[in-house]
Structure 1
Amino acid sequence: MLKGWGLSWGGWLDNRRGEWWLLAQLTLITAHLCPAWPAHGQLGLTPWPLGLVITGVALLGYGAVLAVRAFLDLGDSLSPLPAVRDEHRLIVTGAYQRCRHPLYQAVLCCSLGVCIASGSGLHLALLLGLIGVLGGKARFEERDLRRRYPDYATYAQTTTAIVPKLPWLDWSTL
């Protein structure tokens, strides 16, 4: 499966298929496993408000549901790399009907949920990092999609990129 996704040692060295975007994304996602910092006691908020914990957990769950739906809709076109492979097909139905990058939207939703549930400045920084990385990764991917699929430009003008009305996460053209 890894070879089918186009992963190679050469790509990790020269970023030919966007491997560095993937590495940055995986690093930031994995860092979400770190404990909240600063600790709530240092902020004078012990315990963290239950309403925020519930809201954060609900967002995390919603993000997981979004991710499963997007994974299923992608089918054989699923790849962790932003470069489009020859055997990919353009998916514009299901989760991709309302958002061009629903997996990135799901990751951001999960990250926001962890941030709210934990009340962590560290996790807020990770969320902001993910916004930068996923916005850049999506742009890398879209340059390839526009070259490969002539009707992608029309789809992009009528469908939110990642999060509606947020400049770095929603753009109509590249």
Structure 2
Amino acid sequence: MNDMEEELLFRVVFIVTYGLFFVVRVYFRIYKFYKDRKESTRIEARDEPKEYGKLPKIGIAVIILGYLISAIVYVLIPEHIVWAQFPFPALVRWAGCAVSIMTIPLLAWIHITLGKHFSPDLVMKDNHMIVTSGPYSRVRHPMYTVLITFSIGVSIISANLLLIAFSALLVMLFPFLARQEEQMLLDGLGEEYGQYMERTGRFFPRLRHKEK
């Protein structure tokens, strides 16, 4: 297999991997989520929700847009960013593929665990409860963990430094978003959430609980 054929293969792998992740994301985030909301008691957001965090929305939008544009260009017109290609060994790129694919069933597990409690918005709701089953029994933000891991994995598949750079910027956003969410839940749920934080890790399970 020559270099051009190998690059085409990895671009196809990138598309398939991203496509599978996208299908799962769309199914649970849109169709299943809204179907569940129609069939169950609607959980309303509290009046006048408090805003958390001051990271400019335009900054987040620029990073996300840059990432998406880089991915689209890599797939459709890669010759325009060939200058950013890095000669990763094929084994490294296949490892990125394996890591990315492993996140897909984890994403489904997280959405199934959350069920009707999933929300794309950072807002407290009436009768807000902490989900502590499934992956949430050990980790507070497994969704962010999956998104971080997938972003890194597919950028490695691409072996494109531009996509890797935007992935790195995306990854840097998640600790900020996690702190926002944790502060909101501490304000809203108090000691209950504080105790949950003590026995769980932010993105990965704790090796042991904190000593009291």
TM-score, structure 1 length as denominator? 0.71
Alpha-carbon separation, structure 2, partners of 1:5 and 1:57: 39
Question: Would you say the 8 A contact 1:82–1:138 is kept in 2?
Answer: no
**Aligned ranges 1:12-91 → 2 under 5 Å:** 16=51, 20=57, 24=61, 27=65, 30-31=68-69, 33-34=71-72, 35=74, 39=82, 43=86, 45=87, 48-91=88-131
Tell me the CA shift for residue 88 of structure 1.
Answer: 3.2
Q: Which residue of 1 aligns with 2:11?
A: none
The 2-side partners of 1:26 and 1:116 are apart by: 18
d(CA) in 2 for partners of 1:42 and 1:29?
15
Q: Larger Rg: 1 or 2?
A: 2
Q: Deviations over 1:2-61 (max 9, x none)?
A: 9x786xxxx9xxx9477949x648546634623178537964x3xx53212211111111
Q: Which sections of structure 1, spanning at least 5 residues, go unmatched?
A: 166-171
Divergent runs of 4+, >2 A: 15-21, 23-34, 36-43
Structure with a larger share of its residues in helix:
2
| Cα 1:16–1:144 shift into 2, 3 Å | closer
1:169 is aligned to: none
- What is the aligned-residue RMSD (CA, Å)? 3.5
Does the aligned pair in 2 maintain the 1:32–1:111 contact within 8 Å? no
Count how many residue pairs are aligned between Structure 1 and Structure 2: 155
Structure 2 unaligned spans of 5+: 1-33, 38-42
Residues 1:135 and 2:160 aligned together: no
TM-score normalised by structure 2 residue count:
0.60
Q: CA deviation at 1:115?
A: 1.8
